[in-house]
Amino acid sequence: MSATLTSQFAPEAPKNAHWEVKVAAAPALLVRHSAYLTGRALRTLLRQPAYLLITLVQPVIWLLLFGQLFRNVVHIPGFTQHSGSYLEFITPGVVVMTALFSSGWAGTAFIEDMDRGVMDRLLASPVQRGAIIVGTLAYQSLTTVVQTLIVFGIAFASGARFADGGVGVLVTIAAACLISVIIASFSDAIALLVRQQEALIGISQFIVLPLQFLSSAIMDTRVAPAWVRDVARYNPVDWAATASRAALTSGTDWVAVGARLGALAGLAVVMAWLATRAFRAYQRSA
């Protein structure tokens, strides 16, 4: 009887053990697959470095042209006086806008992979769906770090000075990376749903432009209409710009900065999860 019971239940142990090993190895596989896909995207960028330079043309124009054109707006009653010159006010806003517009195009890489059949091969391979999204987001974040440092370098060369430069720059990089993850996740999800580059560009611009202008990226919302201020409270671009600007000035309210960064991080996780879920819709319609 004992031998019979042993023979009946013996096969279950290896199955459970194998399942436990797979569960334990899942995070390591996610990291490994994400690293491979991030490296693939970076190699593509290295083959076309002009893309990085093109994404910096518009920010440089904003920084230098707007910095001179609107330099007297800091004297408008109600405009914040804690950020110094308008160049110093707009610098973190330009950093956030650069991340915003650059990540809005993230989904085009997915569409190119779809057109070439690469996406179907990836989904048929053992690579985890989450790794495909994480690899794209990691690439966007690394690109954002480089762009942010270049924008700060141009601003510093143009005369901008910040009271809390070291910590403030790190906070600005973190905020820019988070907004990049949020918008890139949205762009990836839209790409998987519409599968057309023209539709992706149209939808991205429809979302990105209002997010920019309904925030304090280029103008203090305290001198804007009341409805703009109300919308800005729920705008993640404003969270990023406000947290960055506060971290770069003296007398920083770190509780408020941390709250905005926390809200950005939470939204980034949700958007990345939704982008991963979009693979199911893509596979059903493929």
Could you tell me the residue range of the domain that residue 42 belongs to? 2-285
Q: Would the pLDDT of 1 be above 60?
A: no
Tens digits of residue pLDDT in 6-57: 444 444 445 454 434 344 456 778 788 888 888 888 887 777 766 667 777 7
How sure is the predictor about 169, in pLDDT bands with cuts at 50, 70 and 90?
very high
pLDDT value for 58:
80
Tens digits of residue pLDDT in 251-273: 788 999 999 999 999 999 999 99
Q: Would the pLDDT of 159 be above 80?
A: yes
- Match 């949020």 to its residue by tokens: 182
Share of the chain above pLDDT 70, in %: 87
**Residues near 241 by Cβ (< 8 Å), separated by ≥ 6?**
92, 93, 96, 175, 215, 216, 217
Distance, CA of 153 to CA of 76 (rounded, Å): 28
| Number of independent structural domains in the chain | 1
Share of the chain above pLDDT 90, in %: 41
Distance, CA of 137 to CA of 130 (rounded, Å): 11
Q: Which of 57, 58, 88 is nearest to 73 (CA)?
A: 88
Tokens of 106: 């993230």
Q: What is the mean pLDDT of the chain?
A: 84
DSSP one-letter string for 234-257: T-HHHHHHHHHHHHHSSS--HHHH
**Residues near 265 by Cβ (< 8 Å), separated by ≥ 6?**
178
Handedness of CA 16, 17, 18, 21 (dihedral sign): positive
Compute the C-alpha angle 247/133/28, nearest 5°: 95
- Match 């007297």 to its residue by tokens: 72
Q: Which of 190, 197, 188, 196 is nearest to 133 (CA)?
A: 188
